[in-house]
Amino acid sequence: MTLVNYAKKEITCKLVYYGPGRSGKTTNLQYIYSKIPNDKRGEMTSLATEMDRTLFFDFLPVDLGKIGNFNAKFQLYTVPGQVYYDATRKLVLQGADGVVFVADSQADRIEDNIESFENFIINLKENNIDIEEIPLVIQFNKRDLPNAIETSVLKEAFGENDQWEYFESVATRGNGVIETLKKSMFLIMKDLAKKFNRKR
């Protein structure tokens, strides 16, 4: 849920990167972190296991400057990909204003993608979030690998929806990472403006 601090004239939005283990969620945030000027970002917290997987979340508050009379900030999180950390995934998803679902494009990971997406839908419902309402971008990562399957096949596996945005990426090189982030932030701000106008 977007936090509006009228005293400080500040809007804070939460963007969550979701997806199966080792799909590239943390790599996305690491690249974003490396490209944002020091004065426009906070510290990135990464809690990892011995296998170098994100255990809880990455958190990167990004200062975007002004939107109207308000300073806009985005908090970027990733969820752990492993199934046995489901309670943490559910918790991190709480209050999300938008989601980037990072899918692994490799043919042998399609079942992992589907399982994670189904889990994502369940956790949205448990957080009282409607998948048809929340801004959602699906990123097909690892497009450079030889066993990457066609994006049309991946879209079909996710039950292609005209409301969702899709991007191809190679997060290790930064390809498609900033484009995914910009589109996600745009959709969140558009959704926020719509909700604000509805209340007026």
Task: For 70-93, write each residue's pLDDT tens digit.
Answer: 888 899 998 887 766 788 889 889
- Check residue 83 and give its pLDDT: 65
- Check residue 170 and give its pLDDT: 98
Residue 33 CA neighbour count, 13 Å, CB half: 19
Alpha helices (H) in the chain, listed in sequence order = 25-35, 86-93, 110-126, 151-157, 177-199
Distance, CA of 30 to CA of 69 (rounded, Å): 30
- Check residue 63 and give its pLDDT: 85
Superfamily per CATH, domain 3-195: P-loop containing nucleotide triphosphate hydrolases (3.40.50.300)
Burial class (CB in 10 A: 0-12, 13-18, 19+), 100: buried
pTM (2 decimals)? Answer: 0.91
Model pLDDT for residues 11-49, shown as the tens digit of each residue: 899 999 999 999 999 899 999 989 988 888 888 887 665
Mean of pLDDT values over 88-114 = 95
Mean pLDDT, the chain, whole residue set: 88
Model pLDDT for residues 162-175, shown as the tens digit of each residue: 889 999 999 999 99
Mean of pLDDT values over 55-62 = 66
Distance, CA of 121 to CA of 89 (rounded, Å): 12
Sign of CA dihedral 104, 106, 109, 111: positive
The b/e string for 106-128 (b: 16+ C-beta within 10 A; e otherwise) is beebbebbbebbebbeebbeeee
The domain limits of the chain are: 3-195
What is the phi-psi region of residue 44: left when phi exceeds 0, alpha when psi lies from -120 to 50, beta otherwise? beta
- Check residue 55 and give its pLDDT: 46
Where do we find the tokens 């009282």? 128
- As a 3-state breakdown, the chain gives helix, strand, coil percent values, each rounded to 5, of 40, 30, 30
Check if the beta carbon of residue 7 is closer than 8 Å to that of residue 152: no
